[in-house]
Amino acid sequence: MSVAVPALVTLHLWRVPAARVPAALLRMGLDRPRVRRTPGVRFAKLLGTGDGRTFTPRDADATRWGLLTTWSDAVAAEAFEGSRVAAGWRALADETWRVELAPVAARGRWSGRVPFGDPAPTRTQGPVAAITRARLVPRRTARFWAAVPPVSADLHAAPGLLAALGIGEAPLGLQGTFSLWRDAEALRAFAHRGAAHREVMARTPREGWYAEELFARFAVLGSTGTLDGRDPLAARAAAA
């Protein structure tokens, strides 16, 4: 049975000063039920992040936190910006970035659910984003982490990459990535022509790394704020 595509997907990223990390950890616990009760929320995950250099636990960045949310309508997403949760994170953070996304392709599950629906394959113009997420089989975790660094090196050298970071609900066993690209062709070139990425894709069925996996691609609708001191989409526009 087809699953409806959310009206909007948002990703919030908040950078907090080191002195406020304990307060951020507290918010991670307190805000989960608050987010779930927010009108219009279909699926939501509060996330830790990493700098994306190896996409392993040693990348973990305790000063940056995220919230990925799918929405039944854009009005509810906008109303969330005035909520207790959003206001609390803004009060902690010294940098915020919010990006709005529309799913254009998705396969797999996240926590047993299909969060981005079953979008019909769509050609897009302009910037795109990709989210991957996997729940690792514990006994195969070490082999997976050993395979990832060459892929990360290829990713960060890929033409057209605007931003990339690791995301996850937990530091061990729940691994994910968010990447932002100049256009769909740049993402396809990395996915299908990068030698390290092709090798990992070929090994995946043999190795059985994942107990659950998901890949989704999105059209980027817009963003506000900055990520590491700049808006990656504004940087793209300036270079165009």
The pLDDT of residue 173: 47
> Please, what is the average pLDDT of the chain?
85
Q: Does the pLDDT of residue 175 top 90, yes or no?
A: no
What is the percent of the chain where pLDDT is above 70?
77
Contact 215, 161 (CB under 8 A): no
Residue-wise pLDDT for 33-91, tens only, equals: 999 999 999 999 999 998 766 656 677 899 999 999 999 999 999 999 999 999 999 99
Q: How many CB atoms lie within 10 A of CB 192?
A: 10
Residue-range domains of the chain with CATH: 8-239 (3.30.70.100)
Instruction: Please give the average per-residue pLDDT across 8-22, as a whole number.
Output: 97
**Which alpha helices (DSSP H) does 69-161 contain, by range?**
74-80, 84-92, 141-156
Residue-wise pLDDT for 80-135, tens only, equals: 999 999 999 999 999 999 999 999 999 999 999 999 999 988 888 899 999 999 88
Most confident of 55-59, 174-178, 214-218: 214-218
Q: Does the pLDDT of residue 196 top 60, yes or no?
A: no
Phi, psi dihedral angles at 109 (to 5 degrees): -130, 155
Instruction: Please give the average per-residue pLDDT across 4-20, as a whole number.
Output: 97
The pLDDT of residue 124: 86
Closest CA to 43 of 133, 125, 123: 133
